[in-house]
Amino acid sequence: MSAIMIVLDGIADRPLKELNGKTVLEVAQIPNLHRVAKNGMLGIFDPLNVPGRRAGSDTAHLSILGYDPYEVYTGRGPIEVAGTGIKLEKGDVSLRCNYCTVDEKFTLLNRTAGYIREGIDELEKAINEEINLSDHDVQFTFRNGADYRCVLHFRGKGLSANITDTDPWKEGAKILESQSKDGMPESIKTSALVNEFVKKSYEVLNNHPVNVSRRKQGKPPGNLIMPRGAGNTPEFENFYEKWKLKGAVIAGISLIKGLGALMGMDIIEVPGATGYIDSDFMAKGQKAIEILSQYDFVLVHIEGTDEVSHDHMIKEKIETLERIDLMIGWVFDHLPDNTFLIILSDHTTSSALGKHTADPPPIMIFGPGIFKDDVQLFTEREARKGMLHRIKANEIIPILLDYMNKTTKFGA
């Protein structure tokens, strides 16, 4: 028996004024998600296992995969870095970054450099070739993630992740200097390296031909790298050892690939998986079915729905969901016997607030032995009435293992 888990990142929402008090899930044309709902069992869950706590995508996924984020989470940076294929070692410091647009005084003009995508391979190459840091005992690696997202990795003696971010989170504000949080020599040294890297990234990028041509086209240049979220290398228990499930991850963004990589799962690349609303959702679903015979558990992560929620783009959230629904239908129609399908939102992302909220998102499970409950629709409101009730994120895998008949009995 095997399982496919499809995570629709941030698809759960709150009632929206623009939709007359309904949510995106309630107004979108999603017959296939509703078809799975009719045939499966629904519920809601608390992403961080307790009501009222807002989860990031990383901590929510850790929790959903049965890990205790309060114990193992060391920040988003290392997860993103692992997602680009860098093998992390103890003592490394990892940061996540954005390509962004600044003026000559380092005032932030565009946090994503207009969702820069074309030419970023050349920019990545220039940064790695042309930047030399003054501390020769520390090596850095810079890698692109998806679009404007990128990562920075330091390896060397005496580093510490106990440093502040450079991201002011507000366009019109100055890029911040990273600072030591604890006054220790290691963090003072690391923050200085980050600041040096940021300044040198501007020198390399500002007049790079890729950015010259972006300016000509009226697009914001990606002329500075803005790091944040420094973290030490986390130690995650191997997913297979923990659950006896051979796992694979299909994702567009390095955050989810990194989580999988750090858990020892296989990362399956799918051409056209971008991590934005233009991602080839169908290709991801088809790949999951294609590789299913080699795995016990395939996680398919869809990111675009969260991105547009952060940007208050309700119309795009609906359109994206409707395209995803076609993939859900294909997967459901091609699901082999003895296979479980779990569909959930990792957390709620309020399109009104542009933020994650703690509202428990919907989850549904379909497969052999699963009750068909009375819920007919995959929506926040209906899922609350399902037979799965309200569970904790870290109960999802144990419940699945029970249905997969991979659980042993406690007692005689």
Stretch of residues binding Zn ion (CB under 5 A), selected from 72-80, 162-170, 299-307, 388-396: 299-307
Query: Which CB atom, from 296 or from 306, has the smaller least distance to Zn ion?
Result: 306
Check: CB of residue 108 under 8 Å from CB of residue 170.
yes
The CA distance from 291 to 266, in Å, is 11
x/- string (CB under 5 A) for Zn ion, residues 45-84? ------------x---------------------------
Q: Which long-range contacts (CB under 8 A, 24 or more apart) does 68-74 make?
A: 68/394, 72/234, 72/235, 72/236, 72/237, 73/234, 74/161, 74/231, 74/232, 74/233, 74/234
Please state the closest distance from residue 12 (CB atom) to Zn ion, in A: 10
Q: Does 346 bind Zn ion (CB under 5 A)?
A: yes
Please state the closest distance from residue 10 (CB atom) to Zn ion, in A: 5
Please state the closest distance from residue 236 (CB atom) to Zn ion, in A: 18
Please state the closest distance from residue 344 (CB atom) to Zn ion, in A: 11
- Tokens for 180? 């030591």
Please state the closest distance from residue 361 (CB atom) to Zn ion, in A: 10
Instruction: Figure out which of the listed residues 306, 325, 359, 382 binds Zn ion, where binding follows CB under 5 A.
Output: 306
Q: Does 359 bind Zn ion (CB under 5 A)?
A: no
Please state the closest distance from residue 31 (CB atom) to Zn ion, in A: 25
Stretch of residues binding Zn ion (CB under 5 A), selected from 45-53, 143-151, 214-222, 340-348: 340-348
The CA distance from 257 to 275, in Å, is 11
Instruction: Figure out which of the listed residues 2, 5, 8, 9 binds Zn ion, where binding follows CB under 5 A.
Output: 9
Residue nearest Zn ion (C-beta atom): 57
Query: Which CB atom, from 324 or from 375, has the smaller least distance to Zn ion?
Result: 324
Check: CB of residue 365 under 8 Å from CB of residue 341.
yes
The CA distance from 227 to 232, in Å, is 15
Query: Which CB atom, from 76 or from 189, has the smaller least distance to Zn ion?
Result: 76
Stretch of residues binding Zn ion (CB under 5 A), selected from 104-112, 286-294, 343-351, 382-390: 343-351
The CA distance from 130 to 171, in Å, is 28
- Tokens for 155? 């390896």
The CA distance from 372 to 201, in Å, is 56
Number of residues that bind Zn ion (CB under 5 A): 5
Please state the closest distance from residue 193 (CB atom) to Zn ion, in A: 29
Applying the rule CB under 5 A, the residues between 180 and 239 that interact with Zn ion are: none
Which strands form 266-267's sheet, in the order they lie side by side? Answer: 266-267, 247-250, 297-302, 2-8, 339-344, 362-366, 41-46, 389-392
Query: Which CB atom, from 123 or from 308, has the smaller least distance to Zn ion?
Result: 308
Query: Which CB atom, from 123 or from 318, has the smaller least distance to Zn ion?
Result: 318
Query: Which CB atom, from 92 or from 147, has the smaller least distance to Zn ion?
Result: 147
Q: Give the helix/strand (H/E) hosting 6.
A: strand 2-8
Please state the closest distance from residue 290 (CB atom) to Zn ion, in A: 25
Please state the closest distance from residue 203 (CB atom) to Zn ion, in A: 32
The CA distance from 398 to 401, in Å, is 5
Identify the CA nearest to 139 among candidates 150, 123, 125, 152.
152
Burial status of residue 19 (CB atoms within 10 A of its CB: 0-12, 13-18, 19 or more) = middle
Stretch of residues binding Zn ion (CB under 5 A), selected from 10-18, 232-240, 273-281, 369-377: 10-18
> 194-222 b/e with 16+ CB inside 10 Å = b?
bbbbbebbbebbeebebbeebeeeebbbb
Stretch of residues binding Zn ion (CB under 5 A), selected from 30-38, 203-211, 287-295, 338-346: 338-346
Which residues contact Zn ion (rule: CB under 5 A)? 9-10, 57, 306, 346
